[in-house]
Amino acid sequence: MDKRAIGVFDSGLGGLSVVKEIRKILPNESIIYLGDTARIPYGTRSKETVTRFSLEDAKFLLKESVKCMVVACNTASALSFDSLVKIIKIPIFEVITPASKKAVTITKVKRVGVIGTRGTITSRAYEKKIKEEDRNVKVFSQACPLLVPLIEENEMSPKLLTVVIQKYLSGIKKKKLDTLILGCTHYPIIKNAISKFLGKDVALVNPGEEVAVALKDFLIKKGLDSPKNLHPVRKYYVTDLTDRFVCVSKMFLEDNLDGKITKVEIN
Ligand code: DGL
């Protein structure tokens, strides 16, 4: 048993949607979260920049003595994980692998869609991972750059959402897929609207949920899970803090972090 915390980092507050899943499935675990809110978005940046930022995020969490780490950000998982594993000498998880495995398991027609930031989609990380699992699965990818700002601004009136979802998902809808990976921390928030547009026959995969399951399996297998009788500690750090963050974090975590978010310098 290991009572040290799990470290989770993301480009901003969207990664709290992953923390939500980890808290659900691993309620006894302490969690230390870092959101690089001063430098969000990662989704529009180059591999070099995302890798540099991710390494700084990971090193900050290492100093907090976490027992393992989760890269909640899909873009960071896609662009920087290869570099992170070489440097970070504790178990580290990304979201691409567990989500791809899940999609391959559930697709019956072997046609899977992936949506994400421009960085995630152009890296083709999901496509490569899915093909590694089953090369007969056809992958249809679509970058949806307007969705992150829309969700962050809480601009989720059904009318506006429908227009944007239509813009991005009309092409994918024609591909007759039965599984779609929500390859961005923000998309689970609008999963009902996406589902409504694609129809109930398309299963949605939430990478946050899948990484939480993989993490639980790993901790139990290695005997690294936290003792049950301890009160879990949760710490939330950001690299920039504004008044809006409390409301944005509530949207992703479904919990009130008023007074619980701390600003830190990481570089
Ligand atoms: N967290 C990012 C992701 O999951 C979305 C926000 C960003 O572009 O940084 O890809």
Q: For 164-217, give the DSSP string.
A: HHHHHHHHHHTTT-SEEEEESTTGGGGHHHHHHHH-TTSEEE-HHHHHHHHHHH
pLDDT tens digit sequence for 7-19:
999 999 999 999 9
Mutation choice for ligand 1 from 186, 205, 209, CB with most ligand atoms inside 8 A: 186
According to the model, what pLDDT value does residue 182 have?
Answer: 98
Give the Å distance between the CA of 214 and the centre of ligand 1.
21
Q: Which residue's CA is the nearest one to ligand 1's atom 2? A: 73
How many C-beta atoms surround the C-beta of residue 127 within 10 A?
A: 18
To the query of whether residue 73 is one of the catalytic residues in this protein, the response is yes
pLDDT tens digit sequence for 154-192:
877 888 999 999 999 999 999 999 999 999 999 999 999
Among 186, 49, 122, smallest CA distance to 57 is for: 49
Do the beta carbons of residue 153 and residue 107 sit within 8 Å? no
Ligand 1 atom nearest residue 95's Cα: 4
pLDDT tens digit sequence for 46-55:
999 999 999 9
Reading the block at residue 204, the tokens are 């949605």
**How far is residue 122 from each of residues 25, 45, 78, 126, 142, measured CA to CA in Å?**
31, 11, 9, 10, 9
Q: For 43-60, give the DSSP string.
A: TTS-HHHHHHHHHHHHHH
The count of residues in the chain is 267
Q: Residues 200-220: what's their mean pLDDT? A: 98
Q: Which residue's CA is the nearest one to ligand 1's atom 7? A: 41
More confident residue, 114 or 157: 114
Give percent of the chain with pLDDT exceeding 70: 100
To the query of whether residue 184 is one of the catalytic residues in this protein, the response is yes
According to the model, what pLDDT value does residue 247 have?
Answer: 87
Pocket of ligand 1 (CB under 6 A): 10-12, 14, 40-43, 73-75, 116-117, 120, 148, 184-186
**pTM for the predicted model, two decimal places:** 0.97
